[in-house]
Structure 1
């Protein structure tokens, strides 16, 4: 739908033309622009506690990791970056000292040696993801060594169905680097693009030219990587609808297989690097909604499929196929195909996810090293899910992944009467239905086009921990609720 333009002044230097969104008014924006989780897990990481100790994890591993030959997913966190990006909220260590990589790799090897015996040796690693930080902070020899260590302790595969991906800072790789990555078994690349506008790049301290991304993309296709993904952000300082439209046009021209378009979350009290960003340079909640509408409109027109929160993919992409088949999943790396029921996290701050629990490693590098020096796994905290947690996790996952919820399926899976079990939640959904975020067709909840912009708000209705935090005027849970970014 073509929306009428209206000119506004972004600042004294820039003027942007933006479409109006008649379905949104200030009252509705204020109603839904509230802190809320992104639901890469349920319960969310703020519920993880220190009473989930190593013995609990060992028992969970015996019950989940060792009693099946189902495929396995591995995540390896490499925290180092050479430069600070002001927007970044990742667990990272900024350093130009190359010896830091060598030290970390030695400790990571120790963790792999301790962790791998907890997994059945017959479980094939169908999904592997290196994230950070900047995984390509490791040089070629170190990446080769890491893959050799992983292959020595886990059952890696060369199957065409595997998903072996690595996050890349385009400023840290060359054509030869991509050739090495392909040779090491990686078949998916995720390029950190963020934005193509030079003024926006300057404001976030992330300068990288369009030509660099173009060359790397073309080279990756030459080497026949299965999938190329771009990570971009909207809501950045100095970003306008006009500049964002140009970034979208350039992105569409390069035609990545997957696009993750994240909303910038400005939390300077939690992330020191964000204090370098002037709050007055940030778009308003109204402008961010218009940016999201522009992103959705242009990418859909270009042939991409919007599979849910933040993510757009080509119609023949595995994620689109998984969505069509009702097999799409969501985990700590975002959307995923349903290939592995368990995720083992390796490295500082990494999170392991099993059927009935989560376990997180130490977040501080010194604490991570100290645990391994003592010869023990660096697990610092976690969470064991109750039956109610598992029911709510299933409900939230289906809403996020399918953009709908069949209550009869939930009833059959868990042996409950949905209207009785979620009576309070059904009442809480009525205002969202009145505002046009969702509708009911018999026993099936369907998220509307408008509701897709507010997907987190719909899921929040089923989050008992968030409701409990909101009901308390003080205490730990209330303080935790403000750790989330706003939904708009």
Structure 2
């Protein structure tokens, strides 16, 4: 790793869970909702592979670093009220789908999905099974807060089909936990992991964050050693994005306790070296996968995908998102549900699909999306295949992108040939910077605030 390169390219940029990114979505009107639903009805005249995302926004307490869309409450009865509205939305969508469309992927995100009681989780699971075609091959993942999870939660999740789990850990050091207002003894993570494996939920991911107050390379190595002792299939090691202008809760953190840029860089270097030395593959950006695990195999065989939930092994599914703030992507459309709970409830009470923002992709969007996803997932662009598929001359169509890429090539992040653009091992750390060169919206004047790219 080259420290000077990291400092040079550590600018603000999108994470490219989609292209175009969510900042390009526009406020919706009634005619656009009608056009969207007509498109969905026509698309579902034939069976389609389906992916379902359910956003559970509630959390019992506030983590001061968090940028998720959430509602802080200790009233668990709000879960029942929320499920009433999820059921309305599920019914709206299920009516449009072809009866033979299989669900290949389900994800519960948040917030805190395990805010819901076991009984509430069972209700949601039964509703999903009643309205959609769930198969033995469906990948069913749930985000879990070990502080808010008991054995009954795990047994219920297993009973409704959950076979993957992602546990929020962030850091195992007690002082760091106090500084970010998230006290989670490692024993809680250990116990939850044991419950999951006893329930045959064996595909487990841990989320870690570096750059938090009071962290050091020594404390973060201990965090990694702690979670490695539990042998997860995957780890997501995120760089903390301090954006208090967008996330006011982050003002509660003591900035003077945060690592310096050089200290944060050292933690990044440590993460990559320590995890790769312990049998994990650096997938790209912030994801690591155990050698031989499904995510690693997907990277090797070219089937790795990226969506709003991060990296995935499943390609080509229409993603329908349910609940407050959920983002769906089907064919040429993205749309997002209201970010405010009251507005989400109001639209469903009025029989209106809970769509707040929408974007219809034009041909240029679709072309650039395909290239950016190749960069994020396969580290290689087959120029001739792009030209044949889209009927373009690559060098002419992307002349501005190529001009922006030249400094990256000079720095050894990419290699151009007549037929391909290949990302080097060094360049794997700068996928967002490389993708930004193809993002036509980055040159526009619309104000955008993103996290740092490295």
- Both structures adopt the same fold (TM-score exceeding 0.5): yes
Q: Distance in 2 between matches of 1:39 and 1:68?
A: 29
Aligned mate of 1:217, from 190, 193, 213: 193
1:67 aligns to 2:45 (yes or no):
yes
Report how far residue 457 of structure 1 moved: 0.8
Kept in 2: contact 1:114–1:376 (CA 8 A): no
Deviations 1:126-180 (A, max 9, x none): 10000000011110111111111112211122x1x32101100001112232122
User: Structure 2: which 5+ residue stretches go unaligned?
Assistant: none
Report how far residue 443 of structure 1 moved: 2.2
CA shift in 2, pair 1:236/1:60, >3 Å:
farther
1:57 aligns to 2:23 (yes or no):
no
Deviations 1:191-224 (A, max 9, x none): 1111111111111111111112112212222222
Number of positions where the alignment pairs a residue of Structure 1 with one of Structure 2: 452
1:343 aligns to 2:337 (yes or no):
no
Q: Which piece of structure 1 moves more, 434-443 or 358-367?
A: 434-443
Listed as ranges, the matches of 1:277-288 within 5 Å are 277-288=253-264
Q: Distance in 1 between matches of 2:35 and 2:261?
A: 43
1:431 aligns to 2:407 (yes or no):
yes
Q: Distance in 2 between matches of 1:441 and 1:220?
A: 47
Aligned mate of 1:137, from 115, 133, 143: 115
Q: Output the TM-score relative to the length of structure 1.
A: 0.90
Aligned position for 1:484: 450
Listed as ranges, the matches of 1:141-156 within 5 Å are 141-156=119-134
Aligned position for 1:459: 435
Kept in 1: contact 2:28–2:355 (CA 8 A): no
Report how far residue 414 of structure 1 moved: 1.5
CA shift in 2, pair 1:340/1:72, >3 Å:
farther
Q: Distance in 2 between matches of 1:59 and 1:235?
A: 46
Deviations 1:60-114 (A, max 9, x none): 31243x0332321000000000000011100000001122111111111111111
Q: Distance in 2 between matches of 1:407 and 1:287?
A: 39
Please report the RMSD computed on the Cα atoms of aligned residues, expressed in angstroms. Answer: 1.5
Aligned position for 1:474: none
Kept in 2: contact 1:127–1:339 (CA 8 A): no
Report how far residue 29 of structure 1 moved: 4.9
Aligned position for 1:36: 13
Deviations 1:348-376 (A, max 9, x none): 00011012110111110010011011011
User: Structure 1: which 5+ residue stretches go unaligned?
Assistant: 1-20, 470-476
Report how far residue 339 of structure 1 moved: 4.1
CA shift in 2, pair 1:289/1:445, >3 Å:
farther
Aligned mate of 1:229, from 205, 213, 221: 205
Kept in 1: contact 2:121–2:156 (CA 8 A): no
Deviations 1:209-240 (A, max 9, x none): 11121122122222221401111111111111
